[in-house]
Structures are given as structure tokens and as C-alpha cells.
Structure 1
């Protein structure tokens, strides 16, 4: 029963993040696709519509099907790992779920439009325009890496068993 509750909660989280991502992209397309720029937090963030056919920073533009196949494989593998009860750590479990939600959000765009809708533009630094799904992938990956580093150091500190007879 404990696993079922965890799986239902994770599924709801994934659906909510994907829905929020898709709703914000819809409004960005509706309000910004004519070239308008809307200030959000002066000096920090503005909203500007962009279509990204590549991955981060538009790298590998035009490789739509490669990204679709790769994203589907990673998301299916991650979901299998999560829902097969192999993942014992809640930190690991939830961070993978957040990464998957971002992957699904951008996957929907790639399949439906052939590009990913980006609209969040930092103005305090020269950086790429991004979206909510990108935020989910980044935040989930940061937590995942942090967990893996802590776990690696924790294992390194464990005393080794004496195997001498």
C-alpha cells in the first residue's frame, strides 16, 4: 500500500508539472508569438517567445526525431525504474519524477509542433530562453546529482569489512 500511495503521488506530480508547462507555453504562444516582449521582474526576467528545434542553447537543431526517440527511451526507462519499486530513496525517486515531467513536457512540443516553445528570458545575464519543463529537468537533475554525490561520499566513509580469515 505504501508503494501505491507513493506512485499515485508521483503520477499526480508529473501530471501537474506537465500541465503547468503546457498551459504556460499555450499562453506564451498566444500572447508573445507576434514578437511582443513582456517584462515580468524588471532587471531579472522577461517573457519572450522562442521556438527551439534543438536542445539546450539550440544545440543540434533539426534533430527532432533523435530527440523524440531519446526522450521517449529515457522517460520510459525512468518510469519503469520508479514504478517497479526498485528506487529505495525518496530523494532519488522524486528527483527522477521531476526530470521525467520536464522531459514529457518538452516531448509533447516536439511531437506536436516540431520544436519546443520557450518563453522565460533572464535579463540580468546573457542566457538562453527556456520554459517550465526546462526548469523541471534542471531542478530535478541538480537534486539527483546532489543525492548521488552524497550517497557516493556516504559509501566511501563506510568501514570496509575485513575479509581476511
Structure 2
């Protein structure tokens, strides 16, 4: 007999503003781009604040059309706490030219009100616009089993 699986808990939506990619080119196994992160916001029941400029996504687009994303950037909560996030995952272009995918974020944060981020597990849904200026990552906390 299987128990009902617990539902994911909506944590926050991060809207990341991105700049024109820096195309490294074919590196063996795919095309490497570095996509600068220049700002953004986060809004949700667990995290609210801003995305600070200075991060980037080191994206590798494989020959099969799947892009491996590895983004590292800094968040500042509305109450002034700095949080480093590494958001890794995969995505693929949909019929509209937007990129859709999933991520598994990890957080680095000091002791305090957000220390729970270090031990909790999260999954993310990634959607970028076809124009390439905004990426939205909707994060959900995975409940403890």
C-alpha cells in the first residue's frame, strides 16, 4: 500500500533579469554561453527581496537541444540578509521559442532566520522569455518525508 505523497510547498518566484549572452562557442559536447545576471526580484511566502547584479549562468547547449544551466548569483532579502544560490538544471526550447525546464537550487546562507535553506530541499520550474531578457524560476520546497 502506498501513502499519498505530500505536496510541494511554493517558496518563491525569482524573476532574473539577464543581459546579452557571451558566446564562448563549441567546446566539445556543446555550445558554451555565459549569461550575465544583472538584477531581479523574488516574491513568495518564504523569500522576498532582490537579485543582486554580478551573477551568471554558465549554460551548455548540447547537440540534442537540451541546455544544461548552472547559475550562481546573490539574493538580498527584504530584511537585508545575503543568500548565495546555485541553481543547476536543464531546459529546452518550446514551440514558442521560450526555454522551459527544471532546476535543483542549493543555498549558502549564514545562521539566522534563513538557515533552514541550507538543509531543506527545493525544486524549481524554469521559464525564460523568447527575447532573452528575463528568466523566471519558481521554487518549491520538498517536504520532509
TM-score of the aligned structures, taking structure 2 as reference length? 0.28
TM-score of the aligned structures, taking structure 1 as reference length? 0.25
Larger RCO of the pair (alpha carbons < 8 Å, separation 6+): 1
- Greater share of helix: 1
